[in-house]
Every structure is written in structure tokens, then in C-alpha cells.
Chains A and B, each alone.
Chain A
Amino acid sequence: MTELSTANLNESIDPIVSARGLRKSFGRKEILHGLDFDIPPGRIYGLIGHNGAGKTTTLNAMLGLTNCEGTIRVLGEDPFARRAKLMENVAFISDVASLPRFLRVRELFALLTNIHPNFSQEKARSFLEGTDIRPEMKIKHLSKGMIAQLHLAVVMAIDAKLLVLDEPTLGLDITYRKRFYRRLLEDYMTEERTLLITTHQVDEIEFMLSDIMFIRDGELILHMQMETVNDKFTQVVVNDPDSQAAARAHGPVYEETRFGQTVMIFDGVDRAVLEPFGTLSTPTLSDLFVALMQRPTANPETAQ
């Protein structure tokens, strides 16, 4: 069920990221099974999948951290061959705890000023205003949340075209997580910038996404604009057994019982058709994730 609606919509625009037949194996095990996708500029993408689905490998391929079969281009460059050059216009956080701990905050900023041509120390300092982080503090003495704030300030102070965040809020409490994403939206995102996020806390980023990609076992099973998701998928809460049977006839992609109520998710079925069976709503990303990510061994798969 790969819907490349976004790609079709933006055929005339040069994509920020373009992958064709992207494959990656570790030993005999193939992790990515030939991914094809384009990511146009100015979008906020969520790359979502279960553990081991291939999210980080896909991101690593984009960031030039690993070599893959097939073709991948980021800003028109081969990331593995031209990583250093590419990083002038790509910023990423792959782990909140990855800042070098031996540095003080001011030393980190001074270093970045000399290393990164698109880093602005003034911007970074302004992003830290209102936090408890001080220039003289050593990074190893900061709390996990403060390191996340500092790392975000660093990447937001880089004038990049693509920002990649791989589980950027892992291990942080909900206050930090919400502040993190709000800051990102308010202070960083512009029409020229593209943001790609992976996280397991899909509900927390749903409000900001323009597009989603679901990856399962190394394959993209969904690639769609959020507007299309809202139009395409419908959730129905059905209580009456007769209605349940009638609704099942329309082929729900997922069905479960919650607190005595039967919830079904439909793909591409007209809402008017489903209206008589129960209460309609648009499934949340986490509901859709659970619906589409069920492994065949755990639940008969109807999503393909």
C-alpha cells in the first residue's frame, strides 16, 4: 500500500532526498529491500516503524553514514561519497546524548563557529536564552534534558536545508519533549527547510507532520501526505453485532476490541457507506501505525 501521492504532487520540484532501489544488508540479512521514495522541500516528514524496521538504516543512508546498494541522492549529492560537503546543508541529531562531553558550552560554540560555515553562534546563544544552560557549563554536567535543549539549539543555529532527527527525544520527560517540538516548529521551520523525524512517540509529532512514511521490515508500506491520510482512512466504532458483520464486508484493514467496543479501520472506503455502522472518526497516527504494522504472524494482514 505504498502511496507516492506526495511524489506525484511535486514532480516538477527537485526533491531534497531521492532514493531508488535502496538496499542494505548486514551479513546475509537484508535490512532494506529496495526503497523508492522522494522527499520534496519544505515538508515535515515522519518516518515511522517498529524497532528493527530499518528507519535508522534509511536515515544513515541519507546522511552518508552507511553505504547502500541502489541510488540515493540528498540535495543532488551521493551522501556516502560526499558526506563532509553535504553536512554544510544537512543537520542531524541521531542521539540526544551524542554531544562531546569534554567540552564546555562556550567551547562547543567556538569550535562549531570554526568548523561549520553555516553555524551562527549568536543564534545558538539566543536559543538558549530562558534555559538553565550557561556558557561555562561542561556538557557532561548537564542533565539529559538540558543536553537535548543544547543539541537542538546547535542544530537550529545551523542554516541547513534538511534537518534529520532520529529519536531526538528518547528518554526525555514529556515537558521537555513538548518544548522540544514547539521550539522546532516556532523557531526553525520555514518553507525552504525540510524536516525528517523518526520517533516511537508518534502521537506527539502528529500535529506537526505534513507527510508520513511507514516502514515495516525494510519496506515502505505507506508514503502519504497527512491530508490524504485523513481522507483515505476511516475509523469506525461499531457496537451492534449485525453492524459489525456488515462493516466487515467492506474489508477493514484492522479490527480490535477496546473496552467492549469494536473498532475497525478502513482504507479507501467512502465515509457515507460506513456512516450507518457506527461512529466515524479519523484514526490517529498511532492507531494507523498499529493497524498497518501488524505482522502477518501476529494478525492476518490485510494492509498489503
Chain B
Amino acid sequence: MKAFIALVHRELIEHRGAFLLGPLLLVAVLFGATILAFTVGRVDARFSGAMLTVAPLRIYELGFLGFGVGWSFYLMATLFFYAADGFAADKRNNAMLFWKSMPVGDFKVLLSKLTAAITLLPGTVYAVALLSGVLLYGVAYVTMLINGTGTVAALGGIGMVYVNVALAILVSFAVGLIWYLPYIALVGGLATAIGRWAIPVSLVLPTIVATLEWVTLGGLHPFTTRTWDYLGYRSTFPLIEDGYIDAWFVGTEPFNALLYTTDLLGRVDWTQVGIGVVFSLAMIYLGSEYRRRSNDN
């Protein structure tokens, strides 16, 4: 277990640019731009503070949730590229020979990469997302103070909003990661064999499979096949229409992370999650067997 944890940790060391330094830089740039905007008068602090008093908590909720959505997209993009690059990264500079001199099997190495992809790496992005929320709330609250509407009571309410939204982002990240796990494993497994070519291949693969079904089993065209419908279903985040988010958006109640979590977890197709886990392990196993047997050390 100690070796496995060390292998997961090395993924963060190797890819800290994408999962830690990049997000921190992004936050620094946004924060710097915000401060600059106030400093040069592009945004009026007193006016902004006054705006925040119209519906203060709702604006705080929307702002941080918006950040959460933004960070989710960032995470999805980086994980996609991580799977394509990270699973083949051991070949770089002949380093495969070094890793193969270690008493660790290929399956364990690839499993550590997949584990890193759904734990430590998104964990660092989540930590930066929390930091971005703190900075967002800090700037907003300072504008309220300048406007003269910032109070200790308001600060307590803002704190509760922060905790609720932070929890909701965490649950969304977790559900998204287990829902999209087979995609990460598919790209990673392909990358073990073909490196970064896994990016275009994984994008084209659904069309090829759907076309094969259309050719062999018939149908109007490849995009009306069961394969295509299934992949469409499997690519959609469970949080869709008529859920808690819709109700909260049109209502006046403060955002409640518990209700959001209950609603989201209730919408997850857990059978598909189970199938996804099995598929992912199968992909990792196939990738590890390729890695074990291939001669491109």
C-alpha cells in the first residue's frame, strides 16, 4: 500500500503543472485582474458593494457555483489530456527501463495512475477551487465594507453559503469522476499503447463503433444506433433538468448542499457506475499486459 500511495503521489509531482501550478496561476491572474479593475476605476467598489446588498447571498451562491462549473470544465479537460499523456509518460526519455527496474507490477503502476486521476489530481484542483472561492468572497465582502453595508452578521451568512457551495462542488466532482471513469480508463488504456494518439483515436472511436453497428445491424444512419444513444447517455452528467438546481434557481431559498447532494445521488445510474468500474479495470488490465509484453522500452 505504501508503494501504491507513493506511485499516486509521483503522478502529482509529474503533473503538478496542469493540476496545481496552472490552476494557481489562473487564480492569481483572475485575482490580479479584479484588483486592477478596482484600482484603475474600471469597476466601482461602492457601486459593486451596493449591488451586493440587493440579494447578497444569492450573488455569493451564484458566483461560487459559477466558479465550480468553470473548474469542472478545467478538470475534465486536464484529465482527458492527463489520461492521454500520463499513461504513456513512463516511456519518455527511456524512463520505462527505470520503472521496470522497480519491484512494482505494470497493473499496479497503471492502477495508480487511474487512482491519481480520480483522487489526488482532482483533489488539488478542488483545493484551488476553494481558494478561488475565498478570494471571490474576500473581494465581494471588501466592496460591501467600502459601501458600508458589510456587517458581521452578513459575514456569517456568507460563510454558510461558502460551506454549502464548497460541499456541492465536492460532491459534483466526485460524482463526475466516477461517472466518467470509464472514459478516463479508455483513453489511458489506449495511451499505454499508442501514446498521445489516444486523443484523436478516442474521439473517433465512438463514431467507428456506431458505424460498425449501423453497417452490421442496420438503421437510418450511425447516429441513430443503440451504440450512439448509449454513449450519449453515458456522456451526460446525471444532473439534468427538473432537479434541485432548477427549483433553487427559480426559488428564494438559500442553496442547500444536502438537498443538492440527495438529488444528485438519486439521479445517478449506479448500475452504469458499476459497469463503468468493471470496464475501467478491464482497460487498465489490458493496458498493463501490453506494457508488460511490449518491447518499446
Contact = CB atoms under 8 A, between A and B. Distances in A.
Interface of A: 26, 60, 63-67, 83-88, 90-95, 97-103, 107, 110-112, 114-117, 155
Which 8 pairs between the two chains have the least Cβ-Cβ distance? A114-B6, A87-B103, A84-B105, A94-B97, A98-B97, A98-B94, A98-B98, A88-B103
B234 interface: no
Contact of B104 (A84, A93, A103): A84
B87 to A, nearest CB: 15
Nearest to B13: A107
Interface of B: 2-3, 5-7, 9-10, 13-14, 90, 92-105, 108, 292-293, 295, 297
Q: Is the interface of B mostly helix, strand, loop or mixed?
A: helix
Contacts of A90: 101
A83 B103 CA distance: 7
22 contacts: A26-B295, A63-B101, A64-B100, A65-B97, A65-B295, A66-B295, A83-B105, A84-B103, A84-B108, A92-B101, A94-B101, A98-B93, A98-B96, A98-B98, A100-B14, A100-B90, A100-B93, A102-B13, A114-B6, A115-B7, A115-B103, A115-B104
Given A67-B293, A98-B94, A101-B93, A87 B6 contact: no
Given A98-B97, A101-B95, A115 B14 contact: no
A95 B99 CA distance: 12
Given A112-B102, A115-B6, 6 more contacts: A90-B101, A91-B101, A92-B101, A100-B93, A102-B13, A111-B6
Contacts, number: 84
A83 B100 contact: yes
A155 B49 CA distance: 63
Nearest to A81: B292
Nearest to B99: A100
Nearest to A110: B6
Given A100-B95, A103-B13, A107-B13, A115 B102 contact: yes
**B93, B101, B103, B105: residue with the most chain A Cβ atoms closer than 10 Å:** B101
A60 B96 CA distance: 13
A112 B3 CA distance: 9
Nearest to A118: B103
A117 B93 contact: no
Nearest to A89: B103
**A90, A92, A100, A114: residue with the most chain B Cβ atoms closer than 10 Å:** A100
Contacts of B7: 115
A97 B98 CA distance: 9
A114 B5 contact: yes
B95 A116 contact: no
Contact of B297 (A65, A86, A107): A65
Contact of A114 (B3, B95, B98): B3
Contact of B103 (A26, A102, A107, A117): A117
Nearest to A26: B295
